[in-house]
Chain A
Amino acid sequence: MEYKLTFKEYSEALKENRLLGLICRQCGTVTSPPKMVCGNCAGTDMEITELAGEGKIQTFTSNNVAAEGREDEAPYVVLLVELDEGPWVMGNLVGIDPAAVGMELIGQKVSMDGNKVFPGDRYSDGESTRPLFRLQG
Chain B
Amino acid sequence: MRKVAVVGIGETKFGPAQDKTSVELFAEAAMEAMTGSNLKPKDMQALFLGNVLGDFSEGQGMVQAFAAENIGCYNIPANRYEGACASASMAVRDAFMWIASGFYDVVLAGGVERAATMGTAMATRTFAMFSDSHYEYPAGITFPALFAMLAHLYAAKYGIPLEKLKEQMATVSVQSYRYGMFNPKGHLRKEVDVAAVLNSFMVSTPLQLHDCCPFSDGAAALVLTTEEIARKLTDKPVFITGVGQASSGPLVSQRDYLPRLKAREISAQRAYEMAGLKPEDIDFCELHDCFSIASLIAAEGLGFFDYGTSGEAWMKGEAAIGGKIAINPSGGLKSKGHPIGATGAGQVYEVTKQLRGEVEPERMVEGARIGMTDTLGGDGGTLVNIILQRGW
Contacts and interface: CB of A to CB of B under 8 A. Distances in A.
Contact of B252 (A10, A68, A88): A88
A68 B258 CA distance: 28
B152 A103 contact: yes
Contacts of A128: 133-135, 137-138
Interface string B174-203: 000000000000000000000000000111
B142 A59 contact: no
B279 interface: no
B1 interface: no
Interface string A66-108: 1111110110101110100001111110000000011100110
Given A59-B150, A66-B124, A78 B155 contact: no
B318 interface: no
Interface string B117-143: 000111011101100111111111110
Interface residues of A, number: 47
B255 interface: yes
Nearest to A91: B139
Interface string B32-54: 00000000000000000000000
A92 B140 contact: yes
A90 B255 CA distance: 11
A10 B138 CA distance: 13
B35 to A, nearest CB: 39
Given A7-B135, A89-B252, A92-B140, A68 B122 contact: yes
B137 A60 contact: no
A58 interface: yes
B391 interface: no
A128 B128 CA distance: 15
Interface in A29-65: 33, 35, 39, 58-65
Given A35-B249, A59-B150, A128-B134, 16 more contacts: A10-B135, A62-B204, A63-B144, A64-B204, A65-B204, A67-B140, A67-B142, A73-B140, A87-B252, A88-B255, A92-B140, A106-B156, A128-B135, A128-B138, A129-B138, A130-B138
Interface of B: 120-122, 124-126, 128-129, 132-142, 144-145, 148-150, 152-153, 155-156, 162, 201-207, 249-253, 255, 258
